[in-house]
Structure 1
């Protein structure tokens, strides 16, 4: 079984998190609104309903919805 198609990577040292959709970088999100906008542009208009669903989104290297570097 393949992992979630959307990955929110660990926070960068300067803040924000890289977001990939099916292995393609779609941007650097600094908050949930950025993440949802990237997903909307990728064709997922119901992104607000997906960001906490682990079958759709994998949060790596930190807690979900935390955007600043540790």
Structure 2
């Protein structure tokens, strides 16, 4: 199975998670709204449903939709 093209990295110590798509940094997201907006700006369609698709998005470090450091 190929790696997901979008990666939501582990939370930073100060909160937020770096988001990359196809190897390019999109920004530091602090919630699902930020993530959806980054993906929309990157031209990805139907981003609200996309963030829960494991073939498209890999959540690293902690569970999906957790935005603060554990």
Name the TM-score class by shorter chain: over 0.9
Which stretch of the first structure deviates more once superposed, 44-53 or 9-18? 44-53
Q: Scaled by the length of structure 2, what TM-score is found?
A: 0.96
Partner of 2:43: 43
CA distance in 2, matches of 1:56, 1:37: 16
Unaligned runs of 5+ in 1: none
CA distance in 1, matches of 2:47, 2:56: 10
CA distance in 1, matches of 2:42, 2:56: 13
Unaligned runs of 5+ in 2: none
Q: Scaled by the length of structure 1, what TM-score is found?
A: 0.96
